[in-house]
Structure 1
């Protein structure tokens, strides 16, 4: 029994030690668990903070991505600023934003729908607008270099009640105008990091505004330059036309003579035909009287009546006169047609033309200046390839060259015209055997108002205008001349493709 008690006490001691070990193990486990739980909690807090920071950075990056995307897009300046206000208001978590344009410190009249309210709505609120602009230094003409933050402490305005901060910036527009962006916040504190992000967005916005302002200036300058080009082109056309009319005026007497010649012989022919018509009337009356008296007209008596007026000759000569009149009218028609083509100002468009026809028409216009004392050798083939040109303007060039050649050959001479196809061009040569030109004259040949003619003869614009016309046709012009021997104009017209 005693042994059992000792065994029991021993067992109890063992159990007590076991219980003590278990208590110590439990305490250690609880301490380890508490330490682990604290580490897990701290890690969780750190992860939540990191997640919040990541979300914030993601929101910042998304905000900057959207603003920079608008800047690089093709949307208008108005759309760019409106989108920036919306994105900034949402990113900055404010309830209200404002966009206005001022000039000389005064808000411009058109201020409808210039208040932005969260979540994303543009409204017109005149009362709020009038109170809000009081917090902006609109009188300041200089542009701010960063966003500014100002406290709102005006408790007297009910519409501004609850707003604690205004964040604003401005930037220059065209026409000495200044745009203002302002946001109104109810937050207790302003996130300085968010302000830094807004600073980056401001740089993007300024870049976009400057690009659009530059584009507007470029377009405006382009329009101005185009207007200038159009005015110069109009002045050029007027100069060409006035020189053409001046040349036509100098040729008027000769042209009138060229027209008067066929008109003169047409009139003479018509007078003769009138006499023949009277002879026919006499024949008719004679035949009628004979029939009335004799009751008939035999062949013998008819032959006698016809011989009396020489009817055979009248018939042949009348036919010749009519053919001569038709030829004269055709000649007048050609002269008038060439004059019409020559004098017509046209629209300056280039068309496919035959230079041979153009040169032939110019010769007819200038013919009176050449036909008496000059020999014209026209070796221009009829089958020349077509070139691109304005036939009226090119006729003006050739008329000028022909008249100048006639003037240079005042004692008579030969004008030779040739044309041939060379690689990639059609070469036309106008050669005279006149007085020629020295180097000094050649150097000034195409200078406006330079002329070797006496005062009152010519305008001094003929060759300069001709050179401008040839340049507009992409014609390579070369001139060679020898004093006392003559001058050669070589004109290379580009061939049409195909």
Structure 2
């Protein structure tokens, strides 16, 4: 081999070796780069995994916080929506079951040792439904110390075996005092791996809300009681004002009536006396005229004819009859005026007369006897005194006048064949005399005017319109009260309440 050939071969070998060395160095650098890339990728993947896990945990915590907030917000909103403590407790149970993810829940309310709510076999499910589950309902009922009368400070946990699946579970429960001798329990049945300290802490807010609701309901009830009391006081005040105004009007009317009675009494006496005398004189003239006629009949002839001519020309007989009727009507009218004057005087001076002890039964029976001719063939009148007789002090004549007036009005308003009942009832300090009829009754307008002087529903000439006003004045003078209840078509009930002898 020539030197040039050998040299060329050596150069090729050296070039090949340099190439191999270069390739080895490239391969080494690529291995290092690959290893670095794999290490970076591993680190990146690990960071991505950790970031993903952190994100998942953050999302889970966020959802849990959202669920906590929804539970707290919902429970708080129930304070204004619920009208009663019982309603709020049932709403709180619904929220607690849904929030905790419990298998079911149940509420119990015990008052004075008696189970008001929770005796049934229904339990609340997370989907807000009540389902029948006698075994679970009985389990929750047995796990709670329903006889306890002292509130828990926190939720309690009992380990139990579910009767339906024979698996271990937990019963969460607490008791809250709603009111005196009234207690409420909430019970939740959960899986043993679902209890978290934070969940229990959030559930504890239910107890605070219940306490707030109880205080709220208590204040609300007290406020309602005060409002009712104020309304009652206002009503009593209005009634008193009406009675004072009515009493003032009655006093003024009494003074007016006294003056009218005094002014009318004297002249009507003259008119009555003169009318009676005039009637007697007219009767004498009538007798004299009859005797003159008899003499003319005896004389006969022209005297008789002349007499008959005068009698026919002046219509003496017809005129005499008309004048006689006029005297009768005038005297009736005068007697009517005298009765009104007497009523006015009774209205003006009701307090005169001595007060004596009066028997309620005797007073009622006397009124029945005095009106016997009015109801004997028209109505059945019966007296009922289940508690026996009662005694009170009063003016016997005035009390008789009041009872007769009420009974007469009842007879007047009651159709034939209907009943009228008289009742005597007594309490510790008063006696009630009641006249109740099955009559036509009164409209509200008539009832409102019933004690107004000169107001009457009777036809003209049948009543003075003073009977009820005089009766009210008399009863008030006796420290009594008159109450009237009436409905058109159903009758009227008049109650006179007077103090018993013992309470005077």
The interval holding the TM-score normalised by the smaller chain is 0.5 to 0.7
Distance 1:104 1:304, change over 3 A: closer
- Can you give the 5+ residue segments of structure 1 that lack an aligned partner in the other structure? 344-389, 396-457, 462-498
Residues 72-87 of structure 1 mapped to structure 2, 5 A cutoff: 72-87=80-95
Render the CA deviation track for 1:358-409: whole Å, top value 9, x for unaligned.
Answer: xxxxxxxxxxxxxxxxxxxxxxxxxxxxxxxx999999xxxxxxxxxxxxxx
Aligned to 1:164: 169
Note the 1:323-472 alignment, pairs <5 A.
Answer: none
- 2:32 is matched with 24
Q: What residue in structure 1 maps to residue 203 of structure 2?
A: 198
- Aligned match for 1:10, one of 14, 18, 21: 18
Contact 1:269/1:321 (8 A) holds in 2: no
For 1:324 and 1:286, how far apart are their aligned partners in 2?
29
Query: Equivalents in 2 of 1:105, 1:283: separation in Å?
Result: 104
Q: Following the alignment from structure 2 to structure 1, what is the Cα–Cα distance between the partners of residues 95 and 225? A: 31
Q: CA–CA distance in 2 between the matches of 1:297 and 1:62?
A: 126
Q: CA deviation at 1:202?
A: 2.1
1:150 equivalent to 2:157? Answer yes
- Give yes or no for the alignment of 1:70 onto 2:78: yes
Q: What's the counterpart of residue 214 of structure 2?
A: 209
What per-residue deviation string (whole Å, max 9, x for no partner) do you get for residues 268-288 of structure 1? 355356458756798799899
TM-score, length-scaled by structure 2: 0.52
Partner of 1:164: helix, strand, or coil? strand
Higher relative CO (Cα under 8 Å, sequence separation at least 6) belongs to 1
Q: Does the CA-based 8 Å contact 1:283-1:305 persist in structure 2?
A: no
- Matches of 2:95 and 2:335, distance apart in 1: 85
Structure 2 partner of 1:356: none
Measure how far apart 1:191 and its partner are.
0.9
d(CA) in 2 for partners of 1:98 and 1:303? 113
Separation of aligned partners in 2, 1:92 and 1:270: 105
Q: Which residue of 1 aligns with 2:388?
A: none
Deviation string for 1:396-433 (max 9, x for gaps)? xxxxxxxxxxxxxxxxxxxxxxxxxxxxxxxxxxxxxx
Conserved in 2, the CA contact under 8 Å of 1:94 and 1:185? yes
Show structure 2 runs of 5+ residues with no match: 1-7, 351-447, 454-475, 480-504
Q: Is the 8 A contact 2:104 2:125 kept in 1?
A: yes
Aligned equivalent of 2:185, options 159, 180, 190? 180
1:404 match: none
Give the TM-score normalised by the residue count of structure 1: 0.53
CA 81–271 in structure 1, closer or farther in 2 if over 3 Å, else same: same
Q: Report the Cα offset of residue 38 of structure 1.
A: 0.9
Q: What corresponds to 2:96 in structure 1?
A: 88
Q: CA deviation at 1:254?
A: 8.3
Corresponding residue number in structure 2 for 1:33: 41
- Quote how far apart the aligned CAs of 1:236 are: 8.3
Q: Distance in 2 between matches of 1:288 and 1:38?
A: 158
How far off its partner does 1:196 sit? 0.7
Deviations 1:276-302 (A, max 9, x none): 875679879989998998899889964
Kept in 1, the 8 Å contact 2:173–2:186? The answer is yes
Cross-structure match for 1:271 = 276
* Residues 203-247 of structure 1: CA deviation (Å, up to 9, x unaligned): 123212321233234334544565566668778888998999999
> Is the Cα contact below 8 Å between 1:165 and 1:184 reproduced in 2?
yes
- 8 Å contact from structure 1 (residues 342, 393) kept in 2: no
Distance 1:272 1:250 in 2: 34
CA RMSD between the two structures: 5.6
- Measure the CA separation in 1 of the matches of 2:118 and 2:280: 89
Query: Which secondary structure does the structure 2 equivalent of 1:268 belong to?
Result: helix
Deviation readout 1:293-316 (Å, 9 max, x if unpaired): 88998899649997x99x9xx99x
In 2, the alpha carbon distance for the partners of 1:256 and 1:338 equals 6
Q: Deviations over 1:3-58 (max 9, x none)?
A: 33333332332232222222211211111111111111111100100000000000
Tell me which stretches of 4 or more aligned residues in structure 1 moved more than 6 Å.
231-256, 280-301, 303-306, 318-343, 390-395
Distance 1:32 1:338 in 2: 124
Distance 2:114 2:192 in 1: 30
> How many residue pairs align between the two structures?
346
Within 1, Cα distance between the matches of 2:99 and 2:194? 15
Tell me if structure 2 keeps the 8 A contact 1:266–1:324.
no
Q: Residue 138 of structure 1 corresponds to which residue in structure 2?
A: 146
